[in-house]
Amino acid sequence: MYSDVCLVSECEITREGLGNILKSEGFNIIGSYGAIKDLEKQDFGSEFFFVLDGIAAEGQSDAVQKLKDRFDTVPVVILSERFDFNTMLECFQAGAQGYIVRSMKALPMMTSMRLAAMGERVLPPDLVDVFEQQTFTPVLRTAEKPDEEVNRARLSPRELDVLCCLMAGYSNKVIARELTVCEATVKVHVKAILRKLNVHNRTQAAIWASSRGLSDMEMHA
C-alpha cells in the first residue's frame, strides 16, 4: 500500500484542507501543486500516488493522461465535483486508478483512497446500485437524442431541468435560484424524479441520467 501522496489542485485552500484530512488518516503528503505543469522537473520515485482535484470534467482524462505519460507507473485518483459516466470511462481508459465524487463523506472517501493506494480500482459506490436496478446501455457523447429509456421515464420538462441541475451537483437552494422557483418546489420535483427513475438518491439519479446520454447543459428555456 502506498502511503505517500502528491496533491494537484489549483485551489490552495482545497489542497490544504484535503492534505490535512489525508495526514490525519496516516498518509504522507510529499508534494502539493497548483497545476500539472509544475511537476515537470519533479522526481518523487514511484512509491506514491497522485490525487487530482478541482479539474473540470472535460479536462480530467487529459490530466490523467499527462500524468501517466510522465509517471507511467504511479496511480492517479480523480476527485470530481460531480459524476459524469463518460468522463469516468475516459479517465479509466487514460489509466486512472480511482474516480471519486467529492460529495462523498470524509470516511468513505478515505476508504476509497486506501483502496486505490492498495492497487484497487475505485468507482463511485452508487454506480453499483444503479446498475442493479436499471438496464444499462452505454451511450456515446455524440448521440444527439436522449435514449428511449429516458423518454419512457416520462419526466416533465421542468423535472428534466432539475435532473440536469442534479447532474451538475447543485443543491436545492442553487437549483431554486437557477430555475426561479422556491426550494419546496424543487424538493417536490426531486422526489418525483427519484420515483420515476426508480433510484434512491440524487447521486444515483445523476448517474442514471449521465449513463443514458443526458447532459447537464440540456436545460429547457
The pLDDT, as a whole number, for residue 101 is 87
Q: Cα(37)–Cα(17) distance, rounded to whole angstroms?
A: 22
Delimit the CATH 3.40.50.2300 region(s) of the chain: 4-124, 129-211
Pick the CATH number of 129-211 from 3.40.50.620, 3.40.50.2300, 3.40.50.300, 2.60.40.10: 3.40.50.2300
Split at pLDDT 50, 70, 90, the class of 139 is very low
DSSP states of 98-166: EEEETTS-HHHHHHHHHHHHTT--B--THHHHHHHHS------TT--S--HHHHHTT--HHHHHHHHHH
Is the predicted pLDDT of residue 47 greater than 90, yes or no? no
The pLDDT, as a whole number, for residue 140 is 44
Average pLDDT of the chain to the nearest whole number: 83
Regarding pTM above 0.75, the answer is no
Q: Looking at per-residue confidence, does 45 or 185 come out higher?
A: 185
The pLDDT, as a whole number, for residue 142 is 43
Q: Cα(60)–Cα(78) distance, rounded to whole angstroms?
A: 8
Q: Which fold has domain 4-124?
A: Rossmann fold (3.40.50)
Nine-digit cell at 97? 486508478
pLDDT tens-digit map of 26-35: 999 999 999 9
pLDDT tens-digit map of 63-75: 999 998 888 888 9
pLDDT tens-digit map of 97-126: 999 988 777 888 888 888 988 888 898 876
